[in-house]
Structure 1
């Protein structure tokens, strides 16, 4: 082990005996009491020394026997310590690719700041490299989501879409202007490759199956209605296969992220449809009218809002892939222009849905958020 104080957490002395590691309340920790010699020793925890050398340095600085090991245990228990050489073979392979590692250092620092154990950050970053996700829909939201996931170290990002790139599909970080007229899926794949920090290692299962297992699908339709009111039939194969999937899009002036569907566990598109019909008997009729006919106009999709939606969707996707508590499961995040204030809409698995997630709520199904029907503004002609 080569201990290093987590570099993402800025350090400062609150007083003569107390060190604060971290700035924000979510991540800051106080270390004390710290005497002068121990404070000087902290500067040696930079990842360049192993435990034997650190113990020798501690003796030279006058620290008592056992003090260095006790201090390191305290720091590790507080989640303030990293291991510059830990993480196992996958982490070693990642460190060996200097160009790739340099691209991913900010992501490693961020993972390190929010994970407790000394090698958690590098393990999670290396694990991303063996992960496969699919992004369905490559408009202003989907293409950017795919590029962000690829740039953050996800090893394989597949994209699915039809048709050709239109001028209004172009967005910074997503589909470039010179891709107009090209096939959307091909243009998005190029954007994904260009965003990738390096060629990922081949997954062991890919040697026999031809591809890695699918960990997550992001459904990011160019028509935001399909994210706000997703068709159950679209997700049926994913639910049947047990594949987690996350919705994201922009409808009119509202950004939508979620829900993250954990098949059989949290609310799915079928649950949302049944819940909407329970709230409003006219919902199926309205939805059929919104989907009918040929839409000639370009759908509203504010560029800044689409970028925010893509970023939040990618963040939730990465947190899920990294093994964090799935905060978007059973929740849909909504933000509307011009205030852009994100709010969470809680979603309940429906007891009548065939996905099975609502079995535990049979007989006690209730509506939590009666949006949008009861919050519409009346208009007098």
Structure 2
């Protein structure tokens, strides 16, 4: 192990004997009282030395025997230490791709904040390279979202759509102006390849299909049709439900952006649950849906550029959290934001017993009221951070304390 205090956490002294790691309440920890020798030793935890050499440095600073190991152990348990050479074979392979790793340095630093085990951040980043994600819909939201996932290190990002790129599809980070007139699917895949950190080493992807779900880690549905965004058709997701493929909904309808739900087939609420819930609350819902779906489609729907970018970014963040093994708050909720106020709000969506997905039976008794839904959902966004602070407090006593 080559211990390294996580570089993403800024360090500052609160007083002569107390040091604080991190600035924000979600990540900040304070340690103290701390003597000057130990404070100086912290500078040596930069990933360039193994434990044997660190012990020698500790002796030069007249630190007591065992003090170095105890310090590193406590910092590790508090989630403050990374291993500069940890993460396993996949992480080692990524280290050899220096140009790729340089592109992903900010993402690695961010992952280190939410990954407690030393070496875990690079292991997660390397694991993204083996994942396959399919984005269905190459409009202003879908193409940008797919490009962000590709740029964040997800190795296999494919986009499925029909038709040709129109002038109003062009968006920064998404489909470029020179793609107007090209096949939408091909243009979106080109944008995804351009965003990839390892673009020169990538092989051309074979054409994807919405019917192909084998081996997919996640499917993100970003329809260009505003009715499909507002009221996802359960029939469209039937192959995904049957194959057990996790899928996430995102898009813009009129002046509202939507992210969620993230559907874990058989475990969390799905599009069918959403339809049944809305029917319970509004008897006219099925009638309205039938009219909207059969009505004459507008040629150009409302899709504010900044709203589309915000939705694409949040949806990509939720997708990455899921792919990294941290269930996001969109599992069991739809996040919505509307112009001009732009206040994000979570609308809880629980499994419906009338839906055939089976999630209601599995999750019976887990939720009790609509009022608790949003707060419980929002709390899920910070479990690993909260646990890190709790671990730091529980595993360290006396001279070590947490600060929020």
With normalisation by structure 1, the TM-score equals 0.91
Show structure 2 runs of 5+ residues with no match. Answer: 204-211, 372-404
The 1:339/1:211 distance shift into structure 2, 3 A limit, reads closer
C-alpha separation between the residues in 1 aligned to 2:363 and 2:172?
44
C-alpha separation between the residues in 1 aligned to 2:49 and 2:366?
59
1:142·1:310 contact (CA, 8 Å) conserved in 2? Answer: yes
CA distances 1:67-101 after superposition (whole Å, capped 9, x unpaired): 10000011001100000000010000000000000
Residue equivalent to 1:288:
290
CA distances 1:16-56 after superposition (whole Å, capped 9, x unpaired): 11110000000111111211001111001111111111110
2:18·2:33 contact (CA, 8 Å) conserved in 1? Answer: yes
Q: Is residue 265 of structure 1 aligned with residue 296 of structure 2?
A: no
1:129·1:201 contact (CA, 8 Å) conserved in 2? Answer: no
Residue equivalent to 2:388:
none
- The one of 335, 338, 348 aligned to 1:336: 338
Residue equivalent to 1:311:
313
C-alpha separation between the residues in 2 aligned to 1:170 and 1:37?
58
CA RMSD of the aligned region, Å? 2.0
Please report how far the alpha carbon of residue 212 of structure 1 lies from its aligned counterpart in structure 2 after TM superposition: 7.7
Residue equivalent to 2:65:
65
C-alpha separation between the residues in 2 aligned to 1:298 and 1:211?
30
Residue equivalent to 1:205:
none
1:348·1:367 contact (CA, 8 Å) conserved in 2? Answer: no
CA distances 1:266-286 after superposition (whole Å, capped 9, x unpaired): 111111111111111111111
CA distances 1:209-251 after superposition (whole Å, capped 9, x unpaired): x998210000000113212210000000000100000000000
C-alpha separation between the residues in 1 aligned to 2:365 and 2:142?
38
C-alpha separation between the residues in 2 aligned to 1:245 and 1:363?
24
Residue equivalent to 1:49:
49
| Range 96-105 or range 353-362, more displaced | 353-362
CA distances 1:107-139 after superposition (whole Å, capped 9, x unpaired): 000000111111110111011011000000010
Residue equivalent to 1:226:
228
| Range 292-301 or range 168-177, more displaced | 292-301
2:267·2:363 contact (CA, 8 Å) conserved in 1? Answer: no
Residue equivalent to 1:40:
40
Give the aligned length: 362
Please report how far the alpha carbon of residue 364 of structure 1 lies from its aligned counterpart in structure 2 after TM superposition: 11
1:104·1:153 contact (CA, 8 Å) conserved in 2? Answer: yes
- The one of 215, 219, 223 aligned to 1:217: 219
Instruction: Point out 4+ residue stretches in structure 1 off by more than 3 angstroms.
Output: 199-202, 360-369
Residue equivalent to 2:246:
244
1:351·1:360 contact (CA, 8 Å) conserved in 2? Answer: no
Q: Is residue 16 of structure 1 aligned with residue 16 of structure 2?
A: yes
The 1:152/1:212 distance shift into structure 2, 3 A limit, reads farther
Residue equivalent to 2:172:
172
C-alpha separation between the residues in 1 aligned to 2:162 and 2:356?
29
| Range 96-105 or range 274-283, more displaced | 274-283
Q: Is residue 85 of structure 1 aligned with residue 76 of structure 2?
A: no
Please report how far the alpha carbon of residue 66 of structure 1 lies from its aligned counterpart in structure 2 after TM superposition: 0.6
Residue equivalent to 2:126:
126
2:213·2:245 contact (CA, 8 Å) conserved in 1? Answer: no
